[in-house]
Amino acid sequence: MPRIMKSLRLALLLPLLCLTRSVADEVAQLALPERFLPGLEQLLRAAVQQSPQMLNRALDLEIAENNRIAARANLLPNVGGWANYYEAKDARADLPGRLDVTKIGYNFTLNQPLFFWGERRNSARMGEIQAAIAQGQYRDGYRFLAQSLRSDYLRLIIQKKTVERAVYNLNFLQRQLQQSEERLAKKDISELQIAAIRLAAEQAQIATEQVQYDYEMLKASVARMAGRPPLQDEEIPAAVPAAGYDTTAFERLLASYLGQKELPSVEAITARKLMENQQLSYANVKTRLLPKFSLSLGASQDEQSYTLNVGQKYRVNSLFGGFTATWTIFDGLAAQAATRNELARRRQMQNDYQQLTERLTQQAQTQVKLVNFAARRMVISDRGLTASENTLKAREDDFKRGAVSDADVSQARLALYDAEIAAYYGRMDFLSRTGDFLGTIAGDPVTAYLPASR
């Protein structure tokens, strides 16, 4: 009986263990372009340090860190003072001639906040929160950049194939035109018949130049985005590899995301941190009419007269210490108005956060649907590619037997080019939508390329 109960408990726990698999394990099953395109992975790694966009975001991090230090400074002692040294010749009415006088004075003071009702501590915490927000925005900014690089890199592969197709089509039409010119010279065809062939060849020439120009511009755009020299043609893969699709992995990731009490998306985390910051600001506002206490320590040197003869001065060295209290008793009701404003802002932020969570929830669900649609379209386009490959092979076999002409084989090859381009676009759409979904649920592994400290 105990063995049966143990087996029963294990059977009941097994589904729970399956549901609690980590997001990283689930993401590892998904197809991402950098996993089968090493050139893209190198591009993504290089963009961390070389991309102009990431360089600016790194400066944002530095600014946020300096602001954090400045906010923390209010908790630390403030040391300052002054000093002077000068020589003088004093002419006194009670003494003949002039007197050489050396005057040295100084005052050095240390002020340490003691009790400010948590205001200084709250301000320091607000600086830390702003720095944490900047770090999150830095990571999310890189994720957006990486997603753009993924799409543009895949588009670059497709554009390379498009150029190849355009060049092949141009050569095919030029051969057709040459044959037609020879037939025209023999009076086998008329000028009217060759006019359409000439027009097609001219249009193909323009189209080829256009796609070549677009290809070069896209290479330059990717280079600017990644902060590196343009890629050479041999560095760009010839095809977008086929991608696998597991609908259950996406469903599990979505269920895990929706099942969390607080959404892990960067937008949601930032909103929560801003609400925490606002709560600290509200706490600070409530201390505006309360007394504040500080400790002062210092040393000074000056001159003082102790007799009725003010000309007789003596050096005075002083060491002092004590407490300072400041208290704003009435500020024209400004503190009350500021408190009410903070409460109103808090309600606004709570309403915005609720709308944000609803939007992110709907967005994640929609993205899973879009991934599913893209995957189904990708399967269809891949089947079309396979059919075109089989058709070309059949035409080549028929050509070897003399059953079809060379033009028929060329037409089949052009159809294969079109099928390849359509299939690559389908794969790119699926991979891009996968990256969008992972970004929404904060599960995109591309952020692992960032330095650990950020």
pLDDT in tens, the chain (454 residues): 444 444 434 443 344 344 445 677 888 889 999 999 999 999 999 999 999 999 999 999 999 999 999 999 989 999 999 898 888 777 766 667 777 777 888 899 999 999 899 999 999 999 999 999 999 999 999 999 999 999 999 999 999 999 999 999 999 999 989 988 888 888 888 888 889 999 999 999 999 999 999 999 999 999 999 999 999 999 999 999 999 898 999 999 999 999 999 999 999 999 999 999 999 999 999 999 999 999 999 999 887 665 555 556 677 888 989 998 999 898 889 989 999 999 999 999 999 999 999 999 999 999 999 999 999 999 999 999 999 999 999 999 999 998 898 899 999 999 999 999 999 999 999 999 999 999 999 999 999 999 876 5
AA identity, residue 74: N
Residues 276-300 pLDDT 10s: 999 999 999 999 999 999 999 999 9
- Shortest CA distance to 363 belongs to which of 446, 437, 445? 437
- Cα–Cα–Cα angle for 73, 78, 84, rounded to 5 degrees: 140
**Res 15: pLDDT:** 42
Place of tokens 């960032």: 450
- Shortest CA distance to 150 belongs to which of 252, 251, 285, 47? 47
- Cα–Cα–Cα angle for 383, 388, 392, rounded to 5 degrees: 150
Q: Half-sphere exposure (CA, 13 Å, Cβ side) for 5? A: 2
pTM of the entire predicted model: 0.84
**Res 311: pLDDT:** 54
Find out whether 123 and 284 touch, Cβ atoms under 8 Å.
Answer: yes
Question: How would you classify the pairing of strands 313-326 and 292-305?
Answer: antiparallel
Find out whether 105 and 138 touch, Cβ atoms under 8 Å.
Answer: no
Taking the C-alpha atoms of residue 428 and residue 432, their distance in angstroms, rounded to an integer, is 6
- Shortest CA distance to 214 belongs to which of 156, 171, 151, 150? 156
Reported as type and span, the H/E element at residue 406 is: helix 406-440
Taking the C-alpha atoms of residue 64 and residue 128, their distance in angstroms, rounded to an integer, is 9
**Res 231: pLDDT:** 93
Taking the C-alpha atoms of residue 189 and residue 390, their distance in angstroms, rounded to an integer, is 35
Output helix, strand, coil percentages for the chain, rounded to the nearest 5. 70, 15, 20
- Cα–Cα–Cα angle for 193, 196, 198, rounded to 5 degrees: 105
Place of tokens 């290479």: 219
Find out whether 162 and 153 touch, Cβ atoms under 8 Å.
Answer: no
AA identity, residue 449: Y
Reported as type and span, the H/E element at residue 300 is: strand 292-305
- Shortest CA distance to 32 belongs to which of 140, 143, 161, 139? 143
Please tell me whether residue 106 adopts helix, strand or coil conformation: strand
Widest CA span in the chain: 134
Q: Alpha carbon of 271 to those of 132, 348, 349, 357, 366: distances in Å? A: 12, 12, 8, 10, 22
